[in-house]
C-alpha cells in the first residue's frame, strides 16, 4: 500500500490526479451533472446520435427479440446473425472484403497488433498515436519505432534502416487530441517502397469525413489500399465496440489468433443493432456530417481570432493548447463553474508540456451553445493569461 499511496501523492503534486464526473442525462449538447446544467463541448458523440429515437428503438427491438446478454464468446455461443450482418455492413462501408467486431476499439488494437506481430516485426508508429496502439505494440513483442508526428522524412529515414524485415506502419486517421489528418497517400507510397503493411485507426474519422462518412481512407480515395482498417463504434456511431476490416485472409487470421477477440464475451445483440442502424443513418444522412464540419470550422475561426493556439486541426476536434497542466486544469475548472464542460487533457494522454483543453463538437450543437461557450472561453482565457488582452 505504501507504493500506492506514494504514487497517488506524487500524481496529486504534479496536478495529474484525475477524478470522474457523472452525467445524469443523455450525452447531448446540454447535460446535467450534480443537478446542474452544462454545455458539453468535449464529447465523442460527434453526430449527436447517442439519444437518437431511431437508435433507441433499434436497441429496444433487439432486446425484445434477443434478450439482453450475449451469453458467450464469439467462437462459442455468443455469435448471432446480427453480428454477422454488422460485420458484412462494416466491410461494405469501408470498401473492403470482410470485417469483424471486437468489444472495444482498445481491444481491436491490442488484439490485432499482438496477433500479427512478434519479435521478428518492426512497427513504425506515429508519435501521437492512441495509447491502445502503443499497448498493442508493446504486447506484441515487436520492435516499436515511433516517428515524429506526420513527418514523412522521419518515417522514410527510419524505414530505410529496416529493409527486409516484417514491417508494419500504423497511424491514427484523424488524431484524437490534435484533430489533424494523417498523410495517408504518402504513407501508402512509403509502405509500397519498403514492403510494409499499413494499419489505420479511424476512431475519429469514421462517420465524419470521407464519402458518406466512410472515414479517412475514403477521404483520400484509398479504400482497398490500406491493409488493416480499424476503428471504433463508440464515437460518431454512438454505440459500443471496435472493428477491423480488410481482406478475407486477414479477418480469418484475426478470428483465429486474436486473443482479445477470442477470450471475451461477445457484445449484446442490442448494442450490435444500434451500430448497424447508426451506420445506415450515417450513409444516408450527409447533413449531420456537413453541419458538424461547417460549425467546427466556424468555431475554430472564432477561437483563432480570439488568439487561442489551436494547432493544425482540420476536424471537429479542436485543441486549445495551454502547456502547463495546472493552468489547463484551472481553465477547465473555471469553465465548469461557469456551466461549460470541456475536459483538460494532460500527460500521459498528451506529450509533456502540451496540456490542453480538448474541445469537440457535436452535429447537434446550436450557434447559441457555441457563442455562450466562446464568451466564457475568452473571459477565462484572458483572466488566466492564456490569451492576451
Ligand atoms: C477512442 C479510441 C480508441 C478506443 O476505442 P474504444 O472503442 O473507446 O475502446 C482507439 N483509438 C483511438 C484513436 C481512439 O480515439
Catalytic annotation, pick one of 83, 94, 158, 235: 235
Domain borders along the chain are 22-46+286-383, 53-284
- The DSSP call for residue 174 is B
Tell me if residue 176 is catalytic. Answer: yes
Which one of 70, 176, 296, 325 is the catalytic residue?
176
Residue 14: which pLDDT band, with cuts at 50, 70 and 90?
Answer: confident
The residue count of the chain comes to 389
Angle, helices 269-284 vs 81-94, to 10°: value is 30
Look over the chain and give the mean of its residue pLDDT values, rounded to a whole number: 97
**pLDDT at position 23:** 98
Probe ligand 1: pick from 234, 241, 244, 261, max atoms within 8 Å of CB?
234
Look up 83 and say whether it is catalytic. no
- Residue 235 annotated among the catalytic residues of the structure: yes
44-95 pLDDT tens trace: 999 999 999 999 999 999 999 999 999 999 999 999 999 999 999 999 999 9
Q: Which residue's CA is minimally distant from atom 6 of ligand 1?
A: 105
**Nearest ligand 1 atom, CA 176:** 15
For 201-248, what is each residue's pLDDT tens digit? 999 999 999 999 999 999 999 999 999 999 999 999 999 999 999 999
- Atom 2 (ligand 1) nearest CA: 203
pLDDT (0 to 100) of residue 21: 95
Q: How far is the CA of 135 from the centre of ligand 1 (A)?
A: 12
The answer to whether domain 22-46+286-383 has CATH 3.90.1150.10 is yes
Give the distance (Å) from ligand 1 centre to CA of residue 44: 10
Classify 345 as helix, strand or coil: strand
Assigned fold of 53-284: 3.40.640
Is the pTM for the entire model greater than 0.85? yes
Nearest alpha carbon, ligand 1 atom 8 = 105
Closest ligand 1 atom to Cα of 172: 13
Residues with CB under 6 A from ligand 1: 104-106, 109, 130, 132, 172, 176, 201, 203-204, 232, 234, 242
pLDDT band for position 17 (cuts 50, 70, 90): confident
The mean pLDDT value for 180-189 works out to 98
The count of other CB atoms within 10 Å of the CB of residue 353 is 11
* Cβ 172 vs Cβ 126: under 8 Å: yes
CA dihedral 130, 132, 135, 136 (to 10 degrees): -110
Cβ atoms of 203 and 132 within 8 Å: the answer is no
Nearest by Cα to 237 from 213, 264, 265? 213
* Cα torsion angle, 104, 109, 111, 112, sign: positive
Predicted confidence at residue 389, as pLDDT, reads 73
Amino acid at each position: 500500500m505504501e507504493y500506492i499511496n506514494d504514487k497517488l501523492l506524487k500524481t496529486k503534486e504534479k496536478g495529474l490526479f484525475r477524478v470522474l464526473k457523472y452525467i445524469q442525462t443523455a450525452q447531448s449538447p446540454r447535460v446535467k451533472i450534480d443537478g446542474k446544467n452544462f454545455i458539453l463541448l468535449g464529447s465523442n458523440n460527434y453526430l449527436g446520435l447517442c439519444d437518437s429515437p431511431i437508435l433507441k428503438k433499434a436497441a429496444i427491438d433487439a432486446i425484445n427479440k434477443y434478450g439482453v446478454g450475449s451469453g458467450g464468446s464469439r467462437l462459442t455461443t455468443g455469435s448471432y446473425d446480427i453480428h454477422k450482418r454488422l460485420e458484412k455492413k462494416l466491410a461494405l462501408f469501408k470498401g473492403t472484403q470482410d470485417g469483424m467486431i471486437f468489444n472495444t476499439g482498445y481491444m481491436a488494437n491490442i488484439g490485432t497488433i499482438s496477433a500479427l506481430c512478434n519479435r521478428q516485426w518492426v512497427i513504425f508508429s506515429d508519435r501521437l498515436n492512441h495509447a491502445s496502439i502503443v499497448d498493442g505494440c508493446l504486447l506484441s513483442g515487436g520492435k516499436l519505432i515511433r516517428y515524429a508526428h506526420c513527418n514523412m522524412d522521419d518515417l522514410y529515414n527510419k524505414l530505410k534502416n529496416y529493409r527486409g524485415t516484417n514491417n508494419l506502419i500504423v497511424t491514427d486517421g484523424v488524431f484524437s487530441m490534435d484533430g489533424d489528418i494523417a498523410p495517408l497517400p504518402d504513407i501508402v507510397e512509403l509502405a509500397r517502397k519498403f514492403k510494409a503493411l499499413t494499419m489505420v485507426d479511424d476512431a475519429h474519422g469514421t462517420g465524419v469525413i470521407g464519402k458518406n462518412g466512410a472515414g479517412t481512407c475514403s477521404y483520400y480515395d484509398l479504400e482497398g489500399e490500406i491493409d488493416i482498417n480499424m476503428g471504433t463504434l463508440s464515437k460518431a456511431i454512438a454505440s459500443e465496440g471496435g472493428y477491423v476490416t480488410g481482406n478475407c485472409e486477414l479477418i480469418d487470421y484475426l478470428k483465429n489468433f486474436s486473443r482479445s477477440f477470442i477470450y471475451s464475451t461477445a457484445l449484446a445483440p442490442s448494442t450490435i443493432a444500434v451500430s448497424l442502424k447508426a451506420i445506415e443513418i450515417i450513409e444516408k444522412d450527409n447533413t449531420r456530417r456537413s453541419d458538424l464540419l461547417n460549425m467546427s470550422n466556424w468555431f475554430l475561426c472564432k477561437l483563432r481570432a480570439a488568439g487561442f493556439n489551436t494547432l493544425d486541426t482540420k476536424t471537429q476536434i479542436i485543441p486549445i493548447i495551454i502547456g502547463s497542466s495546472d493552468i489547463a486544469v484551472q481553465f477547465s475548472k473555471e469553465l465548469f463553474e461557469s456551466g461549460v464542460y470541456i475536459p483538460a487533457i494532460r500527460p500521459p494522454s498528451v506529450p509533456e508540456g502540451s496540456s490542453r483543453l480538448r474541445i469537440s463538437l457535436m452535429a447537434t450543437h446550436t450557434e447559441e451553445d457555441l457563442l455562450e461557450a466562446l464568451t466564457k472561453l475568452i473571459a477565462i482565457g484572458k483572466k488566466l493569461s492564456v490569451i492576451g488582452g
